[in-house]
Amino acid sequence: MLQSMRDNLKGTAAVIVAAFFGFIMVIGGIDFFTGASGGSADKVAEVNGEKITNLDLQRAIQNRRSMIESQYGDSVPAELLTDEQLRGPVLQQLVNTSVMRQAAQESGMVMSTAIVDRDIAQMAGFQINGKFDAQVYRDALRRMGYSHAGFHQLLEQDMVMQQYAGSVADSAFTTRKAAEQVVAVSMEERDFDYVTLPVAPLLSDVSVSDTEIQGYYDSHQDEFQRPEQVAVNYIELTPDLFAANIDVAEADVRAQYEQEAKNFAAEARRHAAHILVENADSEEGKAKVAAVQAKLAAGEDFAVLAKEFSDDIVSREEGGDVGFTSGDVFPETFEETLSALNVGEVSGPVETDAGTHFIKLLEIADAEPPTFDERKAAITARLRNAEAEREFVGAMSRLADLAYNAESLAGPAEELGVKVQQSPLFSRNGGAGITGNSKVLAAAFSPEVLEDGMASEVLNLNENHVVVLKLAEHKPAGVKPLDEVREQIVDRLKRDKASEQLLAKAEDIQSKLTSGEAFSEVASSEELTLETSDNTRRGGFGVRGDVVSHVFGLDAPKPGATAVEHFALQNGDQVVVQLRAVREGKLSGQSAEQRAAMLTQLASMQGTSELAAVQKYLADKADIEIVEGK
């Protein structure tokens, strides 16, 4: 159901989805109310006499697929998004949703018409300039295929379910004792000293025979498995590919300028530039916003950063220049920010429906329109990009016909004036660049491409990026040949032998420490560096993290005593450690804010656990029928 809404929603109306389906996403990942669609009589399950139809299930599967793709992007393996993979968990969540909704109804919980109407009026998708607009509301419902009564009922059901779940989850609490137990472990500190006996100096003197190499290879073939891999030739089309070859006639630029001048309004105007980051809520988008902000703070050139980072393909080649405004060209928040800037000043991140902007005020102009020379570069870029868009659309429409049944992609590429590219080998888990895209993975390993040798259909990776691919190389799954892994095996065997040579020395050091010799004196006599680590908590990375992990696996020594142990790291180094003290974390040692946050977090976890338990209880006592084979 929700996917059909997404397909029909335009602009800010998409906010509606998050507004009234958020709770279902939280408890079940399914933004669909069982039974709300009417649907097909072909049922796949029944919960206390209420049918879940195949139509319900297929819509819910599509919603789950869209949610995963939205959250994780192109990094999700294609096989995890198939109907077969999603069907089981999605159907279970539909069942869970049904029992929860029925429980809410049976509990007598209701939501007044006035409250539902208030929420509808407050949804951004139904507003113009911050105010509810009845015509916008009617148009949005028509696009989604809803009547007012049907939409009102659906929203009411969601709000009742939130109320029911809140009555369970929000009533959960935790005790100070539980918090103290958590802190005792999570905030535990240990004091220890250690020395590392490195294998690296010994490796050059260690020899490995061909027999040893072959033996290791034969007995460890599970380490050398190679997944099925393919490499593909592909044609990639984007507007940028065509823009570089487009010449814009000055007559066309001047004609566009004259049109601008004719429409010029005699009032104060501000000349703006911006850096736009789309999808700023994604991990990649957040990182990009942070990078731009840091570089601006460091004083780097705004125009250079715009060319490197901006997602506005029209303005980025002009250093982010978006021209002049009299206060009504850009979104309200953009205009408000721009009007508050001084000339040359750059704003912080500004949110609009288009994404996150960094805005620079280039100048404040008087009532005279900008000169032709002032506008020539920006108009040229705009006309060039508009023509590139047209060429891109034309090439995209021809690509499918050219690639269909083509022996290779060389002919279609030459016809379109682009190059054929080849990817490195990649598995079903994906690789770098476009080979990490789920659509590319699905096409590359499809029977048509992999077995029949055909070109793929035109893959729309996004609205301005399409790809057609054809198999270049195929390596079936199997064991890597010995020659390919020989160096890896030699290194492993040498490290193991060197580590064995160091073992006796590590045991000798441990024996001396156990007998009471000072660690500093032992380390000095062995010409080793003694490392001291006090007030150490769990965690860490690399070799340091490996040492800390081993230390926290040791039993705490008795008061006044120490615990001594030796162990090998993954790289073969031997480590001898002396644990001197262990201190439990103390809740009382945390600040008031930290204690409050800890209690809140534990209560939230408890609430989530209790809500899951209630859901399981309701499902266990419900009369549930799953129709096999549907």
Residue pLDDT, tens place only, 326-343: 777 788 899 899 989 999
| Angle (nearest 5°) at CA 384 between 381 and 386 | 105
pLDDT on residue 110: 78
Apex 602 CA angle, 597 and 603, nearest 5: 100
Cβ burial, residue 165 (10 Å; 0-12/13-18/19+): buried
Which residue's entry shows tokens 């893959």?
459
- Beta strands (DSSP E) in 366-434 are 421-422
Q: According to the model, what pLDDT value does residue 421 have?
A: 94
* Per-residue model confidence (pLDDT) at position 30: 33
The 10s digit of each residue's pLDDT in 506-522 is 999 999 999 999 999 99
pLDDT band at residue 215 using 50, 70 and 90 as cut-offs: very high
pLDDT band at 296 (very low <50, low <70, confident <90, very high): very high
Label residue 428 left, alpha or beta by phi (over 0 means left) and psi (-120 to 50 means alpha): alpha
The whole-angstrom separation of Cα 1 and Cα 6 is 9
What is the separation of C-alpha 237 from the centre of its chain, rounded to a whole number of angstroms?
25
* Residue 32, SS3 per DSSP: coil
Q: Evaluate whether 364 touches 267 at the Cβ level (below 8 Å).
A: no
440 contacts: CB under 8 Å, gap ≥ 6: 74, 232, 434, 459, 461, 467, 469
**pLDDT at 479 (0 to 100):** 92
Residue found under tokens 């209420």: 50
C-beta of residue 469 within 8 angstroms of C-beta of residue 234: yes
**pTM of the predicted structure, to 2 decimals:** 0.47
Mean pLDDT of 219-248: 90
Domains of the chain: 2-171+620-626 (1.10.4030.10), 189-226+482-583 (no CATH), 229-240+390-476 (3.10.50), 265-368 (3.10.50.40)
Q: Which of 568, 577, 571 lies closest to 503 in space, CA to CA?
A: 568
pLDDT digits (tens, 9 = 90+) for 16-58: 333 333 333 333 333 333 333 434 447 889 999 988 888 778 8
Place of tokens 């329109």: 369
In this prediction, residues 408-422 reach a mean pLDDT of 92
**pLDDT at residue 82 above 80?**
no
Write the single-letter amino acid at 333. Answer: T
pLDDT in tens, 149-208: 777 777 887 788 788 888 887 777 777 788 788 788 888 999 999 999 999 999 999 999
3-state SS assignment for residue 475: strand
DSSP lists the bridge partners of residue 471 as 232
The reported pLDDT for the residue numbered 267 is: 57
Specify whether the CB–CB gap between 159 and 50 falls below 8 A.
no
What stretches of 83-147 show up as alpha helix (H) in DSSP? 83-106, 113-122, 134-144
pLDDT, mean of residues 250-255: 90
The DSSP secondary-structure symbol of 78 reads G
pLDDT at 98 over 70: yes
On average, the pLDDT of the chain sits at 83
pLDDT tens figures, 532-551: 999 999 888 888 889 999 99
- Please state whether beta strands 355-365 and 478-479 pair in parallel, antiparallel, or not at all (unpaired): unpaired
